[in-house]
């Protein structure tokens, strides 16, 4: 049994709708190809800087509490005091040059030496100078830490030994000051020198 013929108008409408669909689909595909793909935010890996985080925390703390300048190593510690002086604690005679640099960072021109036990530096290596006393002790304090380790400490006025001046702080501490078993240790202490300070030429402390 043959199907009855469909009207001509039906096929025309079907063909027209098919053409419209194909045309719209082609336009959509063209738009997708021309539009650059966007990387989703959640698709990027976040970078975390530990140093940056620590710096941010330190900055936040610094905004609340003003900490004194401190230069430290296992051999020494140098810090500014509230009164304007600089306090130094020497824990070992291992780094004279480092201590000189640390004092320079606090505005003090210094010459540091640690002569062997039983010796002192030659007194003729510099010309003594007189400075204004601002509560600094000429003697070096000897003590022990809570762990029983020996140390030597002193406090000076940085204005007396400015980096652009002609006066140098001479720090001379015997190596024996850091030896628990040493006896009759001579600790020379602090002196002010005018002009150049020569290198330490150790001589017997009884000469």
User: What is the pLDDT at residue 102?
Assistant: 97
Q: Is residue 163 in a domain?
A: yes
Q: Is residue 200 in a domain?
A: yes
> Residues with Cβ < 8 Å from 74, sequence gap 6 or more?
91, 92, 94
Tokens standing for residue 179: 């030896």
pLDDT at 183 over 50: yes
Decide if 139 contacts 148 (C-beta within 8 A): no
Average of pLDDT values for 159-166? 94
Q: Is residue 147 in a domain?
A: yes
Q: Is residue 32 in a domain?
A: no
Q: Is residue 40 in a domain?
A: no
The b/e string for 138-176 (b: 16+ C-beta within 10 A; e otherwise) is eebeeeeeeeeebbbbbbbbbebbeeeeebbbbbbbbbb
Q: How big is the CA angle at 195 (ends 191 and 198), to the nearest 5 degrees?
A: 75
How many other C-beta atoms can be found within 10 angstroms of the C-beta atom of residue 104? 15
pTM: 0.63
Q: Predicted confidence band at 15 (pLDDT cuts at 50, 70, 90)? A: low
The residue ranking higher by pLDDT, 21 or 128, is: 128
Which residue shows structure tokens 């640390």? 102
pLDDT at 70 over 80: no
User: What is the pLDDT at residue 201?
Assistant: 94
Number of domains the chain is built from: 1
Domain containing residue 135: 68-204
Q: Is residue 50 in a domain?
A: no
The residue ranking higher by pLDDT, 130 or 29, is: 130
Q: Predicted confidence band at 123 (pLDDT cuts at 50, 70, 90)? A: confident
Q: Is residue 18 in a domain?
A: no
Q: Is residue 158 in a domain?
A: yes
């Amino acid at each position: 049994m043959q199907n009855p013929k469909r009207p001509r108008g039906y096929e025309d409408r079907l063909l027209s709708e098919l053409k419209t669909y194909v045309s719209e689909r082609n336009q959509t595909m063209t738009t997708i190809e021309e539009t650059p793909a966007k990387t989703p935010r959640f698709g990027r890996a976040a970078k975390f800087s530990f140093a940056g985080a620590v710096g941010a925390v330190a900055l936040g703390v610094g905004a609340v509490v003003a900490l004194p300048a401190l230069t430290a190593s296992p051999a020494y510690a140098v810090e500014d005091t509230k009164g304007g002086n600089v306090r130094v604690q020497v824990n070992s005679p291992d780094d004279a040059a480092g201590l000189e640099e640390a004092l320079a960072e606090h505005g003090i021109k210094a010459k540091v030496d640690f002569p062997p036990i039983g010796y002192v530096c030659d007194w003729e290596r510099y010309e003594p100078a007189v400075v204004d006393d601002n509560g600094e002790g000429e003697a070096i304090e000897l003590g022990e830490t809570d762990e029983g380790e020996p140390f030597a400490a002193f406090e000076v006025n940085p204005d007396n030994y400015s980096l652009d001046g002609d006066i140098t702080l001479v720090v001379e501490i015997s190596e024996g000051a850091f030896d628990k078993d040493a006896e009759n240790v001579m600790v020379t202490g602090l002196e002010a020198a005018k002009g150049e300070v020569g290198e330490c030429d150790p001589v017997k402390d009884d000469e």
